[in-house]
Structure 1
């Protein structure tokens, strides 16, 4: 009880400190009479067991208001709503997007922005992430997985206040059925993913449930290999880049502004004034190119783990590819359990491990074989999707995001 009270007191002091910093930005913008900056917040009230709204209002909202930002809050009511909203949202409506939720809300936002197909919108409108959900892989990676929950939310909100931005790579995941998803971290499939997803079922083991799930997985359906067809195009220095002809951006619908404002009026809170946005040199978005003189490999897939990541080996990312990770095809039960337990201390955002085989690729195509009577799943940025044939590629420096370089522990 004493420890809980002390932690609550420390968190209140931290909130006061960040509020004072945010107020400095609001006071400064008021002195210079700048036009107010408009931020639309997609808030998932169901996040964290219904505590999403309370967490946002307690930790993030005060900073935005004190900084003099005009805040429009849209509370999501059903899956897919955020993606629909981007059909009407244009650059004249908003100066930034903030996602207050978990993995699912962020995937919807990124997918909605990229499906919109408006390059001007992507160049001008940055995205911020307030991690009020049960899990948010990208926020843990971007704002630091070693921080407390409250500090991570405060840092994320302060990133929006300060207005610094940088560009992030995006994974484009195209399904055979024409469905395209855009992600920031990566895709996982295989035995370790399946064991981790079953962990909540063993809640009665308390803190030991994270270890028991690997024991139980070793006793069922062994060997737990993922099979299918795999095709990938390697990313090499000898590849020749050729610029593609770009289609013109779509013309904004003049009726969309009135419709959007009527929707926002149901959800919004408005606060006048503006926060200054310090300039920061950014990486430019990579032009739409195709590569010649490439090498494509076709092989059978037989592995206990299959991953595709945008962030595993940043030293090689100048080549503009995704990292394909393949685990062993043959693994003893003891090694599986040992490896599973060793992963318990890894950051929540980590998609792959150094022990797997890795190939830097331009494009990865996988066609998994799903055994009759069973289901196979992918985890994409922390969200489950039914496995199907997919093609994965990297969109280099595609998304503009709010950042705090001095607080980033990557």
Structure 2
């Protein structure tokens, strides 16, 4: 008992050192426990992947091949380590023959897609920028019709992973997010996603999976990192300082658009059974003696564009990939025109929300569904676009929706969760 009293008296006399030691030990224990939980998640994922590797295949059946486009610079240079620890072991244990292609500089993924050979699956390991480059490079190919049928897996390793919440269950744990995304690739369930084709007069077309943004909220969001020293107040401070430099921050543009188009029925994924030989001979003889009459070509109806002149804080053109399994009668993208009547306080409040979720709209946002649109901007001071969180110089563009153009691997749990919300 005397020894316990002596220890307590020592702790009381040196309370500053004792408090510091308690904080260090608490943080160390929490860190070690977090590492242990991550290790358990990796082990469980590897055990599940091993079951795929144990599945029997035919003697003439080749292994599944996967091409991985990895951006080592994503997540502040941690992407390579995150992939090697959390994703690569799962793919190897599942018996997938993987070919890893690492990018060395921004924009290289677009060029690499020109040399990509046919593969069973394409895996993008990076963030929004890497995914946007891969999709753009893939759809710029001359034989894009054949390659666009290749299913795509997205392993979120970047600072921005906008598509992740549409394909996988939301989680703040990095290891769980990566392992679940990798396992969903092995399970093979896919969903079709719409793509935006963004074309200007000068440049080659750029393709986006989520959105294109232009306006004040986008510009302020790019400057938030400059106020890092303000900690949690940096987002509020960036919006407030921007109003001191310029107010109101309205943008002038001309917008013309086409209405949505009806969604065609989905084609069956399974090939119909081939008719027997007698039936095929009968059909050929019938076509020989009574050839079908060729119908005259139907001229397409002229496109009727509706035009609007905008005065707005921000214009956002987004796909409806936020819920890719929702039943829709039309194929359309959403044009969101933010009002220019916000006060400074409202601008700061809504800007903080948009910094967390760029596709969130304000209360009085005008939303238009369209299949294509043209955006005409002023010649000077147009600023920049954000195309899937990547900056591009703003210029007049035509944006067209490519409905259900690519198929992405999706977790069954997330698909069911989204289907219940319909």
Q: TM-score range by the shorter chain?
A: 0.7 to 0.9
Residues 45-56 of structure 1 correspond to what in structure 2 (within 5 A)? Answer: 45-56=72-83
Deviates more, 1:374-383 or 1:40-49: 374-383
CA distance in 2 between counterparts of 1:6 and 1:291 reads 65
CA distance in 2 between counterparts of 1:69 and 1:51 reads 24
1:334 maps to which residue? 345
| Alignment match of 1:310 (pick from 311, 316, 319) | 319
CA distance in 1 between counterparts of 2:211 and 2:148 reads 23
Q: Tell me if structure 2 keeps the 8 A contact 1:90–1:121.
A: no
1:152 maps to which residue? 177
CA distance in 1 between counterparts of 2:258 and 2:226 reads 39
Match of 1:28, SS?
Answer: coil
Match of 2:339, SS?
Answer: coil
Stretches of structure 1 lacking an aligned partner (at least 5 in a row): 242-279, 283-288
| Alignment match of 1:134 (pick from 155, 159, 164) | 159
Matched, 1:22 2:31: no
Cα deviation for residue 281 of structure 1 reads 6.1
CA distance in 1 between counterparts of 2:112 and 2:386 reads 25
Give the 3 Å change call, closer, same or farther, for CA 338–89 of structure 1 in structure 2: closer
Match of 1:219, SS?
Answer: helix
| Alignment match of 1:67 (pick from 58, 79, 94) | 94
Cα deviation for residue 330 of structure 1 reads 2.6
1:398 maps to which residue? 405
Cα deviation for residue 313 of structure 1 reads 8.1
Give the 3 Å change call, closer, same or farther, for CA 383–351 of structure 1 in structure 2: farther
Give the 3 Å change call, closer, same or farther, for CA 381–291 of structure 1 in structure 2: farther
Structure 1 consecutive aligned stretches of length 4 or more whose deviation exceeds 6 Å: none
Residues 175-214 of structure 1 correspond to what in structure 2 (within 5 A)? Answer: 175-214=200-239
The number of residue pairs the alignment matches comes to 358
CA distance in 2 between counterparts of 1:321 and 1:186 reads 13
After superposition, the C-alpha distances for 1:272-296 in whole angstroms (9 at most, x for unaligned) are xxxxxxxx969xxxxxx99747642
CA distance in 2 between counterparts of 1:145 and 1:102 reads 16
TM-score by length of 1: 0.80
Give the 3 Å change call, closer, same or farther, for CA 389–150 of structure 1 in structure 2: same
1:228 maps to which residue? 253
Q: Tell me if structure 2 keeps the 8 A contact 1:370–1:376.
A: no
Cα deviation for residue 3 of structure 1 reads 2.3
1:386 maps to which residue? 393
Q: Tell me if structure 2 keeps the 8 A contact 1:309–1:352.
A: no
CA distance in 1 between counterparts of 2:375 and 2:88 reads 42
Cα deviation for residue 376 of structure 1 reads 0.6
Matched, 1:301 2:315: no
Deviates more, 1:15-24 or 1:331-340: 331-340
Give the 3 Å change call, closer, same or farther, for CA 281–17 of structure 1 in structure 2: farther
Matched, 1:162 2:187: yes
Match of 1:116, SS?
Answer: coil
2:111 maps to which residue? 84
Q: Which protein has the larger Cα radius of gyration, Structure 1 or Structure 2?
A: 2
| Alignment match of 1:323 (pick from 309, 327, 334) | 334
Give the 3 Å change call, closer, same or farther, for CA 340–25 of structure 1 in structure 2: same
Stretches of structure 2 lacking an aligned partner (at least 5 in a row): 1-26, 271-297
CA distance in 2 between counterparts of 1:206 and 1:375 reads 30
TM-score by length of 2: 0.78
Deviates more, 1:57-66 or 1:352-361: 352-361
After superposition, the C-alpha distances for 1:29-79 in whole angstroms (9 at most, x for unaligned) are 469884201111111111122111101001111110000000111111123
CA distance in 2 between counterparts of 1:358 and 1:217 reads 26
CA distance in 1 between counterparts of 2:328 and 2:299 reads 17
Give the 3 Å change call, closer, same or farther, for CA 50–316 of structure 1 in structure 2: same
Matched, 1:110 2:121: no
Deviates more, 1:53-62 or 1:311-320: 311-320
Q: Tell me if structure 2 keeps the 8 A contact 1:312–1:351.
A: no
| Alignment match of 1:357 (pick from 345, 366, 386) | 366
